[in-house]
Structure 1
Amino acid sequence: MKKYLKIGLSALLAIGLLAACNSKETKNDNPATEQQATSQGEEATFPLTMTDVTGKDITLEAPPERIISLIPSNTEILFGLGLNNEIVGVNDYDDYPAETADKEKLGSMEFNIEQIIALTPDIVFAHESSIASLDGALAQLEAAGVKVYVVANADNFNETYTTIEQLGRATGKLPEARKMIANMKAKVEEVESKLAGVEPKKVFVETSDEPEIYTPGKDTFMQEMLEMIHADNIAADTNGWYKIDAEHIIAKNPDVIVVTYNYVPDILTKIPQRAGFDTINAVKNKAIVQVDENMISRQGPRLADGLEELAKAIYPEAFE
């Protein structure tokens, strides 16, 4: 049962992310992005006032000593900044790093508001992708005097770097945040250099098993990652995450099939057995690969490693 709940969470997050970033023009008007742009060169000093994605000002008198994170991407950033001792509560699906197992679990898409209040956090980091499910909860928390900072959804690597710097600034860990960003940029540059001049391959990314096969299309983070490694997404003719017909996959004839889920045992051996898939180049050449979904979807410090894993899956010859 748990695996199906996890699938549901991923699907809801994808829908939330899509709704949150429906257009780049809207994103550019983001108050959090504007605030970050004006303070890029400043050091974090307290008292500190920051504007979140909803346009709300959050003032912190000192670096927070009790922190709650309501989404795995924020959690991975906060742990990466060295805030293990300060983090007191996390999302039910937080599983990285291992220390998340020692933290209180507060829910996944819906949260235990009473439990959050009882933990007396100095700040709660929520996320734009789940803002709809937090509608009433935010008012409850604010009425109880709990400060909530809603982190903007990141549509690309640059906006992920902005998120990391914002969390570093809010927690008094700005130098650590900038070091994290530098390490990520170095990894991205290393991956891109290894793929310079590579012959692009047609790729199909599968995020759920039949009968409802879902894939990321245009205007998704996955699309940006594929473009960064010179891969041609066969689903890029449709916007967002959508259900794709098997016939369409067969007709597009991808060179590589990338599977991002692990809830189906032996999925790599089951895909070639689908009707008509024996004509696909990826099946003929045994180029069906599985990657860690969390590494390529969580907008945090492991995203650059996820880009490398994706690149290795599609172009193994470039990394030999």
Structure 2
Amino acid sequence: MKKIWKIGLSAFLAIGLLAACNTKEATNEKPSSSEQQETTKVDQATFPMKITDATGKDITLEAPPEKIVSLIPSNTEILFGLGLNDEIVGVTDNDDYPPEATKKDKVGGMDYNIEKIIALSPDIVFAHASSMGNSKGAIEQLEAAGVKVFVVADAKNFNETYTTIEQLGQATGKLDEAKKIVANMKAKVKEIETKLDGVEPKKVFVESSDEPQIYTTGKGTFMNEMLEMIHAENVAADVNDWYQIDAEQIITKNPDVIVVAYNYVPDILKKIPQRAGFETITAVKNKAIVQVDENITSRQGPRLADGLEELAKAVYPEEFK
């Protein structure tokens, strides 16, 4: 179950380009990948307010919530980033950042403790679209008990993540703080893109689980977008979504770099070169097998720009000396 949870998390609203991108087109300058989509605007946070969640459900908030429960680590990181430490009364067993999150009341892991959540008397519960397959029944029970549940969209890229942060800022009366977080993230992304401007692209293979069931990231995933943002070629992008891949296929694809996006296997960086046939892979020959923090490279929250930087350093260490 732990592996499935990690793969699922690694497992983010395009509305066109605005004036800035039009200016780039007029000058024949190609917009950076972080500018390919524009964040959906969240302009005000006045109460009472009506907000619409990822399921299309409208929720009315009379005032900023004083008690909040978060049902996924990415929501929790955003809420703490907004300065809502005192308001957060419950999180899941999987919430490990920031350290303060580990001190909050726990409401379960993949299966939620409905009675515990209700007992905490939250003004709002922030759920997540990625876990709706497991949590739909729990959400219905909470709503039947009079608890307001806002389902956060499963962001597929940076711009959708920016929108999520602003939406949570709006719903909690912390929109100004949310906009500051987004501005800082955009600045860091721009810095990374500028750093790698003109770099010679490398072929990269990302694996999110160990053999015998090796999973990787294909097209339409957050990790694939991140690889494109750092001008790397995802050798597994010929298939959509996360999928299982054979060791023989990895050998044939011959990546320049192997990125390990999990940490549940001790000494995995030593084990990968020992796989049959892997000695012929360029990444193995050049000792270019690197492990990245799966949390900051997959959680749709404030640390995602840090994750992009860590990925960039893993693929192009020579550019960050």
Q: Give me the TM-score of the superposition, normalised by structure 2.
A: 0.90
**1:11: which partner in 2?**
7
Q: Deviations over 1:103-156 (max 9, x none)?
A: 011112210111100000000000001112122212211111100000011010
Superposed counterparts of 1:145-156, under 5 Å:
145-156=146-157
Tell me the distance in 1 between the aligned counterparts of 2:192 and 2:7. Answer: 29
**1:264: which partner in 2?**
265
**SS of the residue aligned with 1:204?**
strand
Superposed counterparts of 1:1-320, under 5 Å:
5-13=1-9, 37=40, 40=41, 42-320=43-321
The range that moved more, 279-288 or 100-109, is 100-109
Structure 1 position 61, deviation (Å): 0.6
Partner letter of residue 216 of structure 1?
Answer: T
Q: Deviations over 1:38-68 (max 9, x none)?
A: xx36321000110111111111111000000
Residues 9, 108 of structure 1: 8 Å contact kept: no
Tell me the distance in 1 between the aligned counterparts of 2:256 and 2:8. Answer: 29
Tell me the distance in 2 between the aligned counterparts of 1:288 and 1:189. Answer: 26
Tell me the distance in 2 between the aligned counterparts of 1:9 and 1:280. Answer: 29
Residues 73, 298 of structure 1: 8 Å contact kept: yes
Q: Deviations over 1:67-115 (max 9, x none)?
A: 0000000000000000000000011100000001110111122101111
Residues 9, 298 of structure 2: 8 Å contact kept: no
The range that moved more, 106-115 or 228-237, is 106-115
Task: Provide the aligned C-alpha RMSD in A.
Answer: 1.5
Seen in structure 2, the aligned counterparts of structure 1 residues 139 and 295 have a Cα distance that, compared at 3 Å, is same
Tell me the distance in 2 between the aligned counterparts of 1:281 and 1:119. Answer: 54
More helix by share: 1
Q: What are structure 1's unaligned runs of at least 5 residues?
A: 29-35
Aligned residue pair count = 298
Structure 1 position 12, deviation (Å): 4.1
**SS of the residue aligned with 1:311?**
helix
Tell me the distance in 2 between the aligned counterparts of 1:205 and 1:124. Answer: 34
Partner letter of residue 126 of structure 2?
Answer: F
Partner letter of residue 248 of structure 2?
Answer: E
The range that moved more, 125-134 or 180-189, is 125-134
Q: Deviations over 1:224-282 (max 9, x none)?
A: 00000000011000111111011111011100000011111111111111110000000
Tell me the distance in 1 between the aligned counterparts of 2:177 and 2:276. Answer: 51
Tell me the distance in 2 between the aligned counterparts of 1:251 and 1:153. Answer: 33
Large movers: runs of 4+ above 4 Å: none
**1:33: which partner in 2?**
none
Q: Deviations over 1:145-187 (max 9, x none)?
A: 1000000110100000000000000000000000000000000
Partner letter of residue 8 of structure 1?
Answer: I
Structure 1 position 11, deviation (Å): 3.1
Residues 203, 257 of structure 1: 8 Å contact kept: yes
Q: Give me the TM-score of the superposition, normalised by structure 1.
A: 0.90
Tell me the distance in 2 between the aligned counterparts of 1:69 and 1:165. Answer: 16
Residues 54, 150 of structure 1: 8 Å contact kept: yes
Partner letter of residue 169 of structure 1?
Answer: Q
Structure 1 position 8, deviation (Å): 2.6
Partner letter of residue 136 of structure 1?
Answer: G
Partner letter of residue 46 of structure 1?
Answer: F
Tell me the distance in 1 between the aligned counterparts of 2:120 and 2:207. Answer: 39
Seen in structure 2, the aligned counterparts of structure 1 residues 63 and 144 have a Cα distance that, compared at 3 Å, is same
Partner letter of residue 119 of structure 1?
Answer: L
Q: What are structure 2's unaligned runs of at least 5 residues?
A: 16-38
Residues 71, 91 of structure 1: 8 Å contact kept: yes
Tell me the distance in 1 between the aligned counterparts of 2:212 and 2:85. Answer: 41
**SS of the residue aligned with 1:142?**
helix
Residues 269, 289 of structure 2: 8 Å contact kept: yes
RCO higher in structure (CA 8 A, sep ≥6): 2
Tell me the distance in 1 between the aligned counterparts of 2:92 and 2:269. Answer: 30
